[in-house]
A and B are shown apart, each in its own frame.
Chain A
Amino acid sequence: MADLVYRVNMSNLSFKIEEVPAQWLGLGGRALTSTIVAKEVDPECHPLGPNNKLVFAPGLLSGTSASNSGRNSCGAKSPLTGGIKESNVGGTSAGIMSKLGVKALIIEGAPKNENVFYQLHVTKNHIEFIEVPELVGLDNYAVLEAMAAKYDKKVAVMTIGRVGEMRMNLANISVKDPGGKLRSHGRGGLGAVMGSKQIKCITVDAESYKEVTIADPEKFKEASKVFTKALQENPISGEGLPAFGTNVLVNILNEAGGLPTRNFRAGNWEFAENICGETMAENIKARGGKTTHGCHAGCVIQCSQVYNDKDGNYLTSGFEYETIWALGANFGIQDLDLIAKIDALMDDLGIDSIEASVTLGLAVDAGILAYGDGEKAYELLSKDLPNGTPMGRIIGSGTHILGKIYGLVRVPTVKGQGIPAYEPRAVKGQGITYATSTMGADHTSGYAVATNILNSGGYVDPLKKEGQVELARNLQIATAAVDSTGMCIFVAFPALDDPKCLPALVDMINARFGCSLSIDDVVNLGKTILKTEHEFNIKAGLNSADDRLPEFMKYEILPPHNVVWDFTGEEIDAFWNF
């Protein structure tokens, strides 16, 4: 049976089930959310007003048995960047939506009565609007509990906490994972957009779905085997990531002088060993917990983990390098357990752990709290932020606005979004991605760290300018395509180094839909997505002057390599020559 588009109008609490227009048939994930946002949203609209739309779309392979295909994309105009946003997530929502035949869920309008919050319950060919006064003022885990009590335990849940209800830039949309914990559409303030539609949570029925249809099941099975094998045999996706998680990067970035420290004042940190992946893995081994854990069904990489405290009690999961870096080297907490406690708090509150933690790093310069004062950070995040005190709202606005309020110059943002985890001056290819990404400073949108630092997909010297623009361009094009398949971005590691991986991925798409795409077609899809997003941003008022890193990086010399950001505007703008 054909997939359908579910369209919700919050202005009059109505819905329509529509056939998929022909030009959307071959699209999924980011390709579909960005196409819909670009076509249907006025780029000049207020991101929190009735004319913005919130779009969810599972990837092309989501819901199938393909390994690592469980990513769901969410798109809108971002209140943080003022441009287009796509943020994808693991969890159970992509698989369940696909199996129910939901190609995309488009949410438009906004209720007239600003005091009411709703739950949307999506079932086969139907959407129910339920007023949920009892959930207002609750955070994510309480919402998950309430939904688990109400429906089948497998029901998919997408939810916002109090910070999202208050429409703050830090707010994410949190999604239930297979273990009943949370994953996030993290960046860009999408939780604020959901809050502006007055939607507290969206649930998707997991009882009446059917398996997705596969046009050529034999061919699919064959390609899927090759693909899974490529993931399992690659030393990064098959060995390094399961053993140490993404946090293995602390030491390698520290060693390379690319670990932003003390709000981007240096490229290495004397306490890196306290918070690194090796220390984390030792703690997990000593305390119980799990080094391997998948964020979605069908994940064979298992980079996530369950991290316990000294007494063996659960502290957090999905404990990622970028969060640990931001609270560690950048904000100064040396105690990995305290970082874990704050990570879990951020999950429950439903805030972007990167933006929130980069904001804390800048808050030190603002004099709000001392470098490394994790207890005070916990208090700000647990009390001020979700209660909406003036200080909570300042923090909740994100790095860029905090910088403006306090008159600061060393503000690490691009297009208003906080720079994550990789120092652009010392990892220059990543700097080009941060400058040019349609998403603002987003490490996942073109992960040049792979080739600058990790020797994946070849090697381009991180401290030199040569080859960086081309590298960032190729990676951003490939990533836009991968983000459309529903695949986890970590399939990029085998795809960069194993010639069997990418053809198998394309074969699976062909077998699923009975089409005959070539690798070139998929690359062209990536190009089209980037251009569509770029065009939206230009119409929204973001131009080449916004494709720039913060100015301080041009004149503040970064130790230990003593480097500055030395690309001219013209050199950066050449990124768009394709």
Chain B
Amino acid sequence: MHVFVKLFAQYREGRFKTEERTYKEGICAQEIIEELELEKVSPLGVLMVNSRHEKPSYTLQEGDIIALFPKVGGG
């Protein structure tokens, strides 16, 4: 199935901003985080799927847009 993966802040370095990627059915967000070795860069801050906050255990569906951010802040 196809999933759109968006990366932000430090996670982009040496990776990509947005990519349409192919995964097996039933994959969860945590597996994508591990595949991309994101937490070697910085701990996961925020995970959104289709603009809603989700947990790493979320099971992805065809066409989902997953957005991954390290801990960021401002104000």
Residues of A within 8 A of B (CB): 234-237, 239-241, 243-249, 251-252, 255-257, 268, 273, 277-278, 303, 320-321, 443-444, 447, 449-450, 453-456, 459, 461-463, 489-490, 493, 560-561
Contacts and interface: CB of A to CB of B under 8 A. Distances in A.
Given A239-B71, A240-B10, A256-B53, 6 more contacts: A239-B70, A240-B71, A249-B74, A256-B48, A456-B71, A489-B75
A236 B74 CA distance: 8
Most buried by A among B6, B8, B48, B67: B8
Contacts of B10: 239-240, 243
B12 interface: yes
**Interface residues of chain A: helix, strand, loop or mixed (majority):** helix
A240 B72 contact: yes
B46 A252 contact: yes
Contact of B73 (A236, A459, A463): A236
Most buried by A among B42, B48, B53, B75: B75
In order of increasing CB-CB distance, the 7 nearest A-B pairs are A246-B74, A235-B71, A236-B73, A240-B72, A249-B74, A248-B72, A255-B67
B74 A241 contact: yes
B14 to A, nearest CB: 14
A239 B12 contact: no
Contacts of A493: 73
B57 interface: no
Contacts of B26: none
Contact of A278 (B12, B42, B46, B75): B12
Interface residues of B, number: 22
A291 to B, nearest CB: 12
Nearest to B10: A243
A255 B45 contact: no
B51 A256 contact: yes
A545 B61 CA distance: 45
A446 B43 CA distance: 25
Contacts of B12: 278
Contacts of B67: 255
20 contacts: A236-B45, A236-B71, A236-B73, A239-B10, A240-B42, A240-B45, A241-B74, A247-B74, A249-B73, A252-B46, A252-B69, A277-B9, A447-B75, A449-B75, A454-B72, A455-B46, A455-B71, A456-B71, A462-B53, A493-B73
Contacts of A245: 74
Given A252-B46, A278-B12, A443-B75, A240 B53 contact: no
A112 B48 CA distance: 60
Contacts, number: 99
Contacts of B52: 463
B48 A240 contact: no
Contact of A235 (B8, B45, B48, B75): B45
Nearest to B11: A278
Given A243-B10, A248-B9, A455-B46, A236 B75 contact: no
Nearest to A246: B74
Given A256-B48, A454-B46, A455-B46, A244 B9 contact: yes
Contacts of B74: 241, 245-249, 303, 320-321
A247 B12 CA distance: 16
A257 B71 CA distance: 18
Nearest to B18: A273
Contacts of B45: 235-236, 240, 454-455
Contacts of A234: 71
Interface in B1-57: 6, 8-10, 12, 17, 42-43, 45-46, 48, 51-53
Contacts of A459: 53
A456 B51 contact: no
Contacts of B72: 236, 240, 244, 248-249, 252, 454
Contacts of A237: 73
B75 A255 contact: no
A235 B43 contact: yes
Contacts of B73: 236-237, 240-241, 248-249, 450, 454, 456, 490, 493
A274 to B, nearest CB: 13
A495 B73 CA distance: 13
Contacts of A243: 9-10
A124 to B, nearest CB: 36
